[in-house]
């Protein structure tokens, strides 16, 4: 058993002895760490896991060129968070979200007066369960019995899971039957490092409707009850008849198909079709692109696929360079806006940062190609100042201690002492993160991009490193839908770490992007300051750490996570 897993086991045993009442609240705290220390990845994670073994022919991995959805067009309604009627579950018909909806999860520890907006509960997302004909569900941490009870027993489910066998990482892709009508699938992990960290659902209803769910929550009770998470849901209508499509079109559906191939869903689907469930609504992964109408989806899908991606055509399909491409396609690149970009990066795990990677990410977040960046000498990149306007949000030790569950509830927040005290660690970029809804901790992962006027007025250009910027002079502050943009938001599984977003190397002519984890999220445009305030789950503006007074929460130093002497 790993050192961290052993510490967590001992902590829970002590907590059960001392506070049996509180134990029932926190006994599902899980380790959700995608930090950049490869030794941490190589050691076991603390959670029950079903071993994986078998695999089947990869027939469904054969890709065809006759499938794609129509190009995504702007919808008349916003996909960002907005007021809505009371959620389903109290005798009302289930809500349907044809234009998408972004909400926080319900939480039993928040202050009621601060909790007036519509929320998502997992039971409501999976409603009506008897109408779900087929499901593909992904998470890093699973409580299978918890989810199984929320599903109809007859519904076939493909469960995408992190690859862990016993106490060591298993690098090979695998599939295995784990419950009646359930197949667990795990993707390949290069060298056994990294993690399958995606959190999504594809729910196929008997009416033909497809519900897509992308969230920051694992599939354990704790994530849907005791800490805050964020969920995006959109319902997709089925076409009356399939449509042929251009294989060159890159849209939400084509990106989703690529994700499903990446996390080893195809052989699990083949297994179902060959055996107990030959009449599933999805016969091939590519059917997503031809049989469902994604034209009302305004979100852009932003995946990270673990591995080595070489050459621009592949590099822009994953990681922070995928974010860059999505921003440009949305018209949300900072140069087109003639604005300066401020970033607020909220997550539950801190990476090992250097100035080079922070500037690399900031370049993509501005919507700028890294071609010029890569052609600069590496030594020069390493000596750059930290990017202006970047804020890394992470709870302080004091905030965790004063939260509703106290230090015992800090088991899903990760920062290490050797990171914080590193010689070149960007401590000056750290800001406090405090929930708008009370003294609860946030597992939500967001990057909030806010456009501000440049110093010296809009006519003065910000000095940057790159020489080959695409300084489009068109746009006039409007996004791809023609509406003025105030900023954008990313929501999904990515923590703000190089493991999640990837690291560039190579040259501007032939780049290489190395990604450790499988991650998934969505990008949404924001058109006003009101929308910016609405989507942010933390109090804004965030307060900057006072160096010497404020320190990040470091769970390994907490008595709740340290073995008794």
Phi, psi of 520 (to 5 degrees): -155, 135
The verdict on whether 41 is a catalytic residue reads no
CA–CA distances in Å: residue 336 to residues 251, 368, 477: 22, 10, 7
Nearest to 332 by CA among 531, 507, 81: 531
Three-class DSSP category at 308: strand
Distance CA 148, CA 139 (A): 14
CA–CA dist 71, 253 (Å, integer):
9
Catalytic annotation, pick one of 41, 162, 338, 443: 443
**Cβ–Cβ under 8 Å, residues 189 and 306:** yes
The rounded distance, in Å, linking the Cα atoms of 125 and 145 is 17
Asked if residues 226 and 220 have their Cβ atoms less than 8 Å apart, the reply is no
The Cβ of residue 553 has, within 10 Å, a number of other Cβ atoms equal to: 22
Q: Is 443 a catalytic residue?
A: yes
Burial class (CB in 10 A: 0-12, 13-18, 19+), 380: exposed
- C-alpha gyration radius of the chain: 23
| 365 within 8 A of 319, measured Cβ to Cβ | no
Binding site as annotated, residues: 199, 445
SS3 509: coil
CA distance linking residue 403 with residue 219, whole number of Å: 23
Catalytic: which of 49, 197, 261, 338?
Answer: 197
In Å, how far are 38, 62, 80 from 356, measured between CA atoms? 20, 39, 32
Among the listed residues 330, 348, 293, the one whose alpha carbon sits nearest the alpha carbon of residue 492: 348
Task: Determine the Cα–Cα distance for residues 447 and 399; give it in Å rounded to an integer.
Answer: 21
Structure-block tokens of residue 383: 């000596």
- Cβ 89 vs Cβ 202: under 8 Å: no
Q: Which backbone phi and psi does 215 adopt, to 5 degrees?
A: -140, 175
Answer whether 104's CB lies under 8 Å from 230's CB.
yes
Question: What three-state secondary structure class fits 60?
Answer: helix
The residues, ordered by sequence, that sit 6+ positions from 307 with a Cβ below 8 Å of its Cβ are 190, 514, 515
Burial class of residue 460, CB neighbours in 10 A (0-12, 13-18, 19+): exposed
Burial of 220 (0-12, 13-18, 19+ CB in 10 A): buried
Can you tell me the distance from the alpha carbon of 299 to that of 232, in angstroms, rounded to the nearest whole number? Answer: 10
d(CA 148, CA 220): 11
Q: What are phi and psi of 360, to 5 degrees?
A: -60, -45
- The CA distance from 403 to 426, in Å, is 26
Q: Mark the binding-site residues for substrate, compressed into ranges.
A: 199, 445
Residues catalogued as catalytic: 197, 443
């Amino acid at each position: 058993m790993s050192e961290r897993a052993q510490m967590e086991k001992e902590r829970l045993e002590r907590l059960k002895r001392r506070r049996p009442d509180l134990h029932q609240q926190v006994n599902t705290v899980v380790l959700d760490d995608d930090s950049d220390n490869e030794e941490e990845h190589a050691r076991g994670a603390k959670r029950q896991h079903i071993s994986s073994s078998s695999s089947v022919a990869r027939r469904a991995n054969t890709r065809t060129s006759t499938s794609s959805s129509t190009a995504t067009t702007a919808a008349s309604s916003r996909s960002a968070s907005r007021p809505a009627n009371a959620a389903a579950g109290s005798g009302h018909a289930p809500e349907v979200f044809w234009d998408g909806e972004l909400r926080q999860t319900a939480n039993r520890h928040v202050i009621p007066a601060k909790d007036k907006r519509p929320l998502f509960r997992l039971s409501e997302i999976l409603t009506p369960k008897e109408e779900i004909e087929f499901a593909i569900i992904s998470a890093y941490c699973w409580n299978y019995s918890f989810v199984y009870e929320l599903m109809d027993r007859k519904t076939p489910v493909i469960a995408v899971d992190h690859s862990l066998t016993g106490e060591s990482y298993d690098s090979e892709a695998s599939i295995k039957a784990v419950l009646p009508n359930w197949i667990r699938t795990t993707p390949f992990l290069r060298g056994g490092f990294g993690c399958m960290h995606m959190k999504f659902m594809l729910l196929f209803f008997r009416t033909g409707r497809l519900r897509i769910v992308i969230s920051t929550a694992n599939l354990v009770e704790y994530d849907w009850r005791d800490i805050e998470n964020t969920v995006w849901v959109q319902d997709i209508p089925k076409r009356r008849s399939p449509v042929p499509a251009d294989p060159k079109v890159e849209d939400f559906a084509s990106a989703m198909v690529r994700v499903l191939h990446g996390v080893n869903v195809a052989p699990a689907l083949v297994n179902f079709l060959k055996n107990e469930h030959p009449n599933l609504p999805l016969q091939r992964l590519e059917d997503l692109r031809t049989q469902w109408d994604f034209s009302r989806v305004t979100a852009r899908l932003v995946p990270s696929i673990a591995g080595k991606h070489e050459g621009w055509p592949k590099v822009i399909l994953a990681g922070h360079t995928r974010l860059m491409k999505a921003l440009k396609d949305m018209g949300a690149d900072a140069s087109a806006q003639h604005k300066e970009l401020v970033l607020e990066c909220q997550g539950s795990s801190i990476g090992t940062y250097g100035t080079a990677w922070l500037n690399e990410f900031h370049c993509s977040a501005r919507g700028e190609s890294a071609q010029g960046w890569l052609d600069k000498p590496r030594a020069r990149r390493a000596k750059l100042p930290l990017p202006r306007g970047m804020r890394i949000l992470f709870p302080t030790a004091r905030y965790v201690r004063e939260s509703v569950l106290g230090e015992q509830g800090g088991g899903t927040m990760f920062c290490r002492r050797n990171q914080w005290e590193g010689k070149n660690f960007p401590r000056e970029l750290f800001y406090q993160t405090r929930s708008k809804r009370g003294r609860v901790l946030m597992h939500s992962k967001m990057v909030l991009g806010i456009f501000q006027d440049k110093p010296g007025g809009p006519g003065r250009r910000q000095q940057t490193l790159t020489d080959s910027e695409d300084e489009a002079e068109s746009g006039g502050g409007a996004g791809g839908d023609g509406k003025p943009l105030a900023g954008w938001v990313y929501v999904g599984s990515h923590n703000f770490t190089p493991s999640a977003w990837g690291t560039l190397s190579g040259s501007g002519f032939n780049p290489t992007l190395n990604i450790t984890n499988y991650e998934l999220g969505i990008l949404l445009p924001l058109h006003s300051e009101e929308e910016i305030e609405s989507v942010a789950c933390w109090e804004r503006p965030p307060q900057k750490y006072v160096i010497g007074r404020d320190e990040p929460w470091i769970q390994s130093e907490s008595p709740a996570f340290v073995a008794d002497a």
